[in-house]
Structure 1
């Protein structure tokens, strides 16, 4: 970059760290960094715009990760439904009041001296002094480090070579209902069939996720857990909506008026991991932190925010030049153990994508028969690699022969080889 260009760049409160993106990942990291004395600025096109999706998590995770004060709803237990019958899960579930959490997080960042800047990032330019962000409106912003937290598909973060991601696609509706609902359980998965019409809908296997929000209020979402899609993800919304409508009719859910809320959800699953040899850092979806086998992201973001903020604060506190800090911070964003676990989860994703609805029904019915600590660690993404491998082996030994054969074929085939090759950690050139 030319000296004249650098001198024309804007410095906002001597910003050390730019975080691009004001979603849950960006604000969680920004708040953790300002708490450690880092001078942070957050850049986003509309930083205070309401987040579109609803964010939910297991109740014990919400408590341990410090977001219990921001829960809008909680359920003491959950249920999974299969062809063999319902399976009560002794684990609470929770829905966040994400608007309140968002606004209070923004306020805390600003009270701690952080800046919230409206702008659309056009280019990132690293130089011998740090980084410059060029915005569409002509703003040029200087700092020492930059973290991309803009979500999936960022054009500023280089990823490993690998297959295209699968997708989770969902259509959700909130309704006022006639029948009084029980409020003690959420439906985590309902794999029951919606009838012969499914064969004409050209949909991958789907399940229903349902949250009773009040005695007369239900949120239900028809969901493709994970699939390699033949068409654009959004093109599946009409069929998902029809299937959800039929499911609610079959279950005798009398709905009043029009939907109170609609939710459309598209989540890349098993996206390639970021490379560790780049100076643009990433966090959240931009760093491929989505759980490859479940689609959860928020708990991973919250679990890693403190240690990533520690690494950033340490590097900025000992700043000499921009040459090495990013390489060391990447080790906090993705530890080698987490990379190994991610490879295992991604292997599980390939199995899920290959199964039809009946096989997925059996797959998850057997999965939730595992001891509670096994399936809890898997779905939350907290199990260390040895425990995760033990869970997968135990599952392998317990499942019916057709599923065991499918697992064995994948393990000793291309998917298994790709998994083992990536066990060393994030790739570098």
Structure 2
């Protein structure tokens, strides 16, 4: 169920395993995806998919100074290429791998396990049966059970693709995080911090996006829009033409689903958003093949497994014990960062990017094996100031 990147990723792999797939979605999978999807270029190269990048930057930087002096204006150079997917190319590539499969444009209203099969009843009255059902309809799915751990923190962003009175970033530059707060009022500095994510698209077109880290409740789009305009104005930049506005809101610390349930999930519905970075597409591309291959093997078992058993097989692959432990570590770190004020966040990230590139890049992509992840987190702790160390251990509100 679904027609976004997660759904197309898993459907493509299931079809390539020779399985019979029925696809349901509330809209056609050809409907354009509205948001931008970023990824470190090396991560995509390792998958042999670098051709799907629509934009690529070598000049990648971040700003973690206060912006009030010369030192605060100096960027941190990442020396690591960053790219944006060409969303149409990614969508077309995945659709082509789905072969002649056609999507049933339907809205599911109930799902029932009927012994060997699972039935999906749709608003139209049509019912579909399958050996196993995968919900890839996004984090708002109402069919996936998960524990209630309290308010869910969300990352919010408001962005503009457009033309400006002067360049909001240097020519050919990608800015991962600009945390300089010199444009904020005293009142705004008391609120949860946000940063600029920006890039030069060439031909006088830029993308600028004001992004908050995870907050519960999240910062509003109106607040982020106000901050973005204040940031640009402080640097003498005006928006001359709006080509596209982008609104993002997604959970960062969504609890892992109940992995005993007879309904399988993938993507946002399966809590696959990286709690530390907010990225997911790289994980979708890496983890879909193993899940599809394992399901193909499980479906061939004699005597046949029922729906509940097949779903459990899928959950065990999707969230192996190691992946669960890594996810818990990331969520622990996110809770600590959510307690940091703007000054501590700037200090934390400045230290984070002093780690060896393969360490911070693997941390952000969630590709580090658990033992190495633990060592990287320990190294980060030792590199940090005592103020940050205490915040990591007890939360900033306790220090």
TM-score, with structure 1 as normaliser: 0.86
5+ residue gaps, structure 2: 66-71
Q: Distance in 1 between matches of 2:64 and 2:174?
A: 15
Question: In the alignment, which residue of structure 2 is the partner of 1:13?
Answer: none
Q: Is the 8 A contact 1:149 1:282 kept in 2?
A: yes
Q: Is the 8 A contact 1:128 1:321 kept in 2?
A: no
1:8-407 equivalences under 5 Å are 20-47=1-28, 48-83=30-65, 84=72, 85-111=74-100, 114-179=101-166, 182-197=170-185, 199-200=187-188, 203-229=191-217, 233=218, 236-256=220-240, 258-318=241-301, 320-322=304-306, 323-407=308-392
Give CA-to-partner distance per residue, 1:349-387, whole Å, 9 cap, x none: 001100011110111011111111221111111111111
Q: Is the 8 A contact 2:339 2:395 kept in 1?
A: no
Q: In structure 2, do the counterparts of structure 1 residues 100 and 372 end up closer, same or farther at CA, with 3 Å as the change threshold?
A: closer
5+ residue gaps, structure 1: 1-19, 414-429
Coordinate RMSD, CA, aligned: 1.9
Give CA-to-partner distance per residue, 1:163-219, whole Å, 9 cap, x none: 332110100001113446655431000000143425248741000000111140100
Q: CA deviation at 1:39?
A: 1.0
Q: Is the 8 A contact 2:295 2:313 kept in 1?
A: no
Q: Distance in 2 between matches of 1:196 and 1:262?
A: 22
Q: Distance in 2 between matches of 1:395 and 1:203?
A: 26
Q: CA deviation at 1:57?
A: 0.6
Q: Is the 8 A contact 2:189 2:342 kept in 1?
A: no
Secondary structure class of the residue paired with 2:323: helix
Q: Give the total of aligned pairs.
A: 386
Question: In the alignment, which residue of structure 1 is the partner of 2:68?
Answer: none
Q: Is the 8 A contact 2:196 2:210 kept in 1?
A: yes
Q: Is the 8 A contact 2:199 2:206 kept in 1?
A: yes
Q: In structure 2, do the counterparts of structure 1 residues 194 and 173 end up closer, same or farther at CA, with 3 Å as the change threshold?
A: farther
Q: Is the 8 A contact 2:179 2:194 kept in 1?
A: yes
Q: CA deviation at 1:125?
A: 1.0
TM-score, with structure 2 as normaliser: 0.92
Secondary structure class of the residue paired with 2:142: coil
Write out the 4+ residue segments of structure 1 that deviate beyond 6 Å after TM superposition.
Answer: none
Secondary structure class of the residue paired with 2:177: strand
Secondary structure class of the residue paired with 2:44: helix
